[in-house]
Structure 1
């Protein structure tokens, strides 16, 4: 297969995955079935897809509504009846804190005749940042930065976030009683656990204050003194826990998954098969260190190439981690891909793409990158040492030098990472 054809096919698979998770498309069947309540309809939301979700509701549902959602800077939409606020991600800022406070106030005082429609997607944990009593935004920012560098997975990070929040871990739904609460979720987490997506503001929480303390201890994170005291007080029973499964206060809460990583992978697989490419599906919930997974997938690709036969696309999703030890900018997709390129060693007929479906790999406005059979040769010819850049956690710098970064701009959706390795010997 020619390089240009391989690159075009990789991008076509990624675009198909994105299209399957577009809010206007994936919300349509649920909006069509939604009946207006006797009272008011209040729309609230948070996440990188929340503004696009709000726009879809406005465009497709003709009944009266009002509301407020908070999304990442650059991910806003123009809405007439739902206010859109843009704030910082992945480290929260004061705009996000203020928006979260306004949302929390807005859901209180509703009646049993009212409907609270919650639009939650990945990124909500940082964007819906309302510190628990006794904590400040600075406290949460410090812990967030430490967690992002630690190598903690998303379940562990959100365990901590829920127990430092006044709104996450089901507390938003409790505040909205006695209204009917309907949550539409776009999943960006392994196994589509609703309690992890956006730190579960409307979902019962299976984790505890003690679990949050254990995460900080595991990754040797020394939190600000007020954070440590808050978690210790919670573990000792001096602060009320988040609502747990079986809590009757959540009986009138309905949660629906409107888009998932697996559905996006299936859409990409359909495009690959239409191009005469066999598909190996590794699953939508792969985790672990990005560089280790990249090396493992390179070995699988080499083995597949050696067997010959038809072209093969190896697809996977999930959320890996990067333990930042160097001076680079991190980014789990570029770290995965650089490690994969090194392990593939320039084997002919192997290409790869790895990108975050939200268009942001870490804190970069770059979704990910592409590697080709001649990636290492081109890098070394330009005086670049691939292994040294991997050791420095500088995958972004590596692919930028080659012109192989994948830049999408705001996708306004988020179904986690998308990875494809194409073998066409």
Structure 2
């Protein structure tokens, strides 16, 4: 088990990061001006229901609309309908929800306002297979991309050319209404066109660019998807299309702001904190090894930072599936690799978690690890190296008793990693 004081300290940093991305606080300073006509809210993502509820509380005037979120992530609203669908594999409920979003915006005029509330998870929640493709094709595409190990930007570049809603198509359907997109970013670099594959934000990545990314990375896609991408109907709208001329895009919360909040929380308790980056990408197990090497260098030689210190980072790592039937997400896979790199070091402890409260397909956000975690896994009959090869990080941390289960948080600004080198201030 992790030292209770260290566990509480690391949990407090996670809480500070999540609070910084709170829906109401994020929206409060970014409300658009009131229109002469209707105000229609659309949205998608794991925190979309919380954003919709907060918007209703903050908006002084009539409002209507629809948002879609993951099953179990709904929040009570008065005027905006909240629909639920599957994540990470799209389902028929998601397709129906996508149709409901289009129903909201079709037929609006130039005096009407569409407010788009978008956060991470929206890509899977908004299946909309274009002509010639089916929901099963889009499901197969999603599964292939998730298994490929490609970074989120590459996956989204491909998705938006195989969709009827992504790549700004929902905003195009709302024309001539004005569209204001308020984005909670969960992507490295905070490019709003990448969040949920940009249903209301067009992207400069062309179909030719997407084809090149597939070839360069040797991504194997279903035959129907390949045929679609090789045709001439997959082009997404260009950002300079006149239908987007009146639209506004604002990033209202991000991993950067959340990591800064965690850093401030550590300093408030008398401990120094450093942020490596809010945009780290790459294979989760490799990034875990890198973080372990840095932590060990600090612990042994006080470089590149002096202990005691908290090392923070964010971004979105990827997992290339090598096992069959393993459980766990990218944060637990990162931490399982990290734990092996700090084995038997009593002066290092860490938390890696997804800020939406769910990592992968189980109910945990991530897990804790310290120098004794690998030993605890082995004592429970788990070989950590074998578990990593099988992509079964959840099973390993479950055996060690160090899973982190805060429940859905109502927001999503991607991965959160906090590594404590040294002790917690008394």
Q: CA deviation at 1:330?
A: 4.2
**Unmatched segments (≥5 aa) in structure 2:** none
- Residue 80 in structure 1 maps to residue 74 in structure 2: no
Residue of structure 2 in register with 1:314 after alignment: 311
Of the candidates 254, 260, 263, which is equivalent to residue 257 of structure 2? 263
Deviation string, structure 1 residues 192-238 (Cα, Å, up to 9, x no partner): 001101101111212122333344445544434332221111xxxx3
Change (3 A) 1:220 1:361: same
Q: CA deviation at 1:249?
A: 2.0
Of the candidates 168, 171, 178, which is equivalent to residue 176 of structure 2? 178
Q: CA deviation at 1:310?
A: 4.3
Question: Normalization by structure 2: what TM-score?
Answer: 0.95
Residue of structure 1 in register with 2:350 after alignment: 352
Deviation string, structure 1 residues 159-197 (Cα, Å, up to 9, x no partner): 111011111101111111110100100000000001101
Residue of structure 2 in register with 1:376 after alignment: 374
- Residue 7 in structure 1 maps to residue 7 in structure 2: yes
CA distance in 1, matches of 2:69, 2:124: 10
Matches within 5 A, 1:90-109: 90-109=88-107
SS in structure 2 of the partner of residue 288 of structure 1: strand
SS in structure 2 of the partner of residue 245 of structure 1: coil
SS in structure 1 of the partner of residue 278 of structure 2: coil
Residue of structure 1 in register with 2:28 after alignment: 28
CA distance in 2, matches of 1:336, 1:310: 22
CA distance in 1, matches of 2:239, 2:64: 30
Residue of structure 2 in register with 1:66 after alignment: 64
Matches within 5 A, 1:14-413: 14-31=14-31, 34-233=32-231, 238-239=232-233, 241-307=235-301, 310-327=307-324, 328-413=326-411
Contact 2:345 2:370 in 1 (8 A): no
Per mean C-alpha deviation after superposition, the further-off stretch among 215-224 and 277-286 is: 215-224
Contact 1:202 1:253 in 2 (8 A): no
CA distance in 2, matches of 1:219, 1:394: 25
SS in structure 1 of the partner of residue 181 of structure 2: strand
**Unmatched segments (≥5 aa) in structure 1:** none
Task: Give aligned pairs, total.
Answer: 418
Deviation string, structure 1 residues 59-113 (Cα, Å, up to 9, x no partner): 1213001100000001101111100000000111000101101211321111000
Question: Normalization by structure 1: what TM-score?
Answer: 0.95
Change (3 A) 1:224 1:340: closer
CA distance in 2, matches of 1:196, 1:78: 28
SS in structure 2 of the partner of residue 354 of structure 1: strand
Contact 2:203 2:239 in 1 (8 A): yes
Change (3 A) 1:216 1:362: farther
CA distance in 2, matches of 1:124, 1:381: 40
Change (3 A) 1:291 1:224: closer
CA distance in 1, matches of 2:126, 2:79: 20
Q: Which ranges of 4 or more aligned residues in structure 1 deviate by more than 4 Å?
A: 218-222
Q: CA deviation at 1:317?
A: 0.2
CA distance in 2, matches of 1:224, 1:402: 39
CA distance in 2, matches of 1:149, 1:423: 33
SS in structure 2 of the partner of residue 30 of structure 1: coil
Q: CA deviation at 1:5?
A: 1.2
Contact 1:189 1:415 in 2 (8 A): yes
Per mean C-alpha deviation after superposition, the further-off stretch among 380-389 and 248-257 is: 380-389
SS in structure 2 of the partner of residue 141 of structure 1: helix
Change (3 A) 1:325 1:219: farther
SS in structure 2 of the partner of residue 339 of structure 1: helix
Deviation string, structure 1 residues 231-272 (Cα, Å, up to 9, x no partner): 111xxxx32621223222211110011101000000000111
